Amino acid sequence: MENYYNYSLCFIFILILLFLTKQNKSKPKLPPSPSLWTMACNLRALMHAPHSTLAHLARTHGPLLSLRLGHHLTIIASSSITAESILKTNDRDLSGRVIHPSYQYNLRGFIEHSLVWSQPNDQWRKLRRILHSELLGQRMMKAQTWIREKKVVEMVKGLKERKEGEVVDVGQVVFETMLSLFCELVFSCGLEGLGMSGSEFKKDFWRLLELMGMGGFKMEDHVPFLVKLFGGGKRDSDSVEVVVNRVIGSWEGIVSKRRSMGSGSGSDFLDILLGCGLSERQINVLLLDILIAGTDTATTTIEWAMSELIKHPETMSKLNQDLQQVLLQEQEQESHLPQLHYLHACIKETFRLHPPAPLLPHCALESCQLMGYKIPKGCQVIVNTWAIGRDPKVWKDPLEFLQ
């Protein structure tokens, strides 16, 4: 009898064990992660060049990897298939943003109105709709053609007036042209109408990009004590607040004056925003978002394109031929753009090698599965666009600027 009892217990125990093992096998796991030793060896590189270090780790551990740094779990996607799965297939679950807790306190009144940093809620959808229909939509793009052409003509004229041999800071010239374009579209005035110079704006925008971690991955958010140990960058949320207020302060007088005048007729973007019933804070934060997002991306892309063209004189001369054939002594106009195929190819190649946003920082709003792996709710999900453009499985000579 006792034997029979022992056999039954053993049998039940084996059944439970089998059940648990099966459960564990069928349960999706986290994506593979580098060993602690590998992480320790790469810590310094991760702090200084996160996009290339993460690309290097992906080559050994696969295109979807998980990193646990401090309390935070981060999933990194480094191939076009994993990126598509995050940005398209699972966009609803993975379109959140992670904000470091210390910022949430100091930047109240900023983050919740920001298109870049707020979670995708009703207000975010409303602001995005306004931006896409009233500034970036096809109808508006067509209506604003003359303003963009005017700004380009002014930029070219300014460059032609330079003395031969004079050094030109391409980044500064393009940045000021973009900023002046946005001033015209938003406020119907030139850059001189705002309370700061072009170089002051550029300095503050860069500082904000650095402070807010727009690069997508900041070690100091995960393991602050290690960063202190290695003497890494300092993330001071108070400075973010100071810079945000200084930049917004350069135009907030225009916004409140326009509101008190009872504008809302839709003659420029500010009028449209006032007519949409947005608060002054909402308008100012939205303007900060688009000024930074619109100027920095164009400036870095053109700087990289110019430096690749200087490094590749053959490409430069092919591009010159393309431009001369199409323009035929005419003044450059946007209607010429569809015929400039080689220019398009050069810009695409610049985006491939030097994406203006090398790491896209997202966050899992809900748990979901990605390529058979588990993505837990709340973890950070980063798409490494820099690694995707240089993926040796996709590109023959990934590091070459193809001609």
Rounded to whole angstroms, the Cα distance separating 107 from 237 reads 8
Rounded to whole angstroms, the Cα distance separating 255 from 288 reads 13
- Asked if 123 is part of the footprint of ligand HEM (rule: CB under 6 A), the reply reads no
Candidates 294, 326, 336, 342; binder of ligand HEM (CB under 6 A) is 294
8 Å CB contact between 244 and 208? yes
Nearest distance, CB of residue 112 and ligand HEM, angstroms: 14
Nearest distance, CB of residue 376 and ligand HEM, angstroms: 20
Q: How far is CA 36 from CA 18, 67, 228, in A?
A: 31, 10, 19
Residues 6+ apart with CB under 8 A from 54: 46, 76, 78, 217, 359, 382, 384, 387
Task: Name residue, tokens 């007088």.
Answer: 253
Nearer to ligand HEM, 312 or 354 (CB): 354
Site for ligand HEM in 343-372 (CB under 6 A): 356-357, 360
Q: State the DSSP H helix or E strand holding residue 74, giving kind and residue range, or none if neither.
A: strand 72-77
- Asked if 301 is part of the footprint of ligand HEM (rule: CB under 6 A), the reply reads yes
3-state secondary structure of 34: coil
CA-wise closest residue to 297 among 348, 361, 351:
351
Nearer to ligand HEM, 304 or 401 (CB): 304
CA-wise closest residue to 288 among 236, 319, 251, 329:
251
CA-wise closest residue to 244 among 96, 114, 120:
114
Rounded to whole angstroms, the Cα distance separating 141 from 151 reads 14
Candidates 298, 316, 323, 326; binder of ligand HEM (CB under 6 A) is 298
Site for ligand HEM in 253-282 (CB under 6 A): none
Nearest distance, CB of residue 175 and ligand HEM, angstroms: 13
Nearest distance, CB of residue 144 and ligand HEM, angstroms: 11
> Of 44-52, 272-280, 288-296, 373-381, which segment contacts ligand HEM by CB under 6 A?
288-296
> Of 139-147, 196-204, 256-264, 286-294, which segment contacts ligand HEM by CB under 6 A?
286-294
Q: How far is CA 319 from CA 315, 336, 343, in A?
A: 6, 14, 6
Candidates 57, 73, 283, 290; binder of ligand HEM (CB under 6 A) is 290
- Asked if 116 is part of the footprint of ligand HEM (rule: CB under 6 A), the reply reads yes
Nearer to ligand HEM, 178 or 223 (CB): 178
Nearest distance, CB of residue 35 and ligand HEM, angstroms: 30
Site for ligand HEM in 81-110 (CB under 6 A): 87
Q: Residue 374's beta-bridge partner residues?
A: 369
* Count of residues that interact with ligand HEM, criterion CB under 6 A: 15
Interface positions with ligand HEM (CB under 6 A): 87, 115-116, 128, 136, 289-290, 293-294, 297-298, 301, 356-357, 360
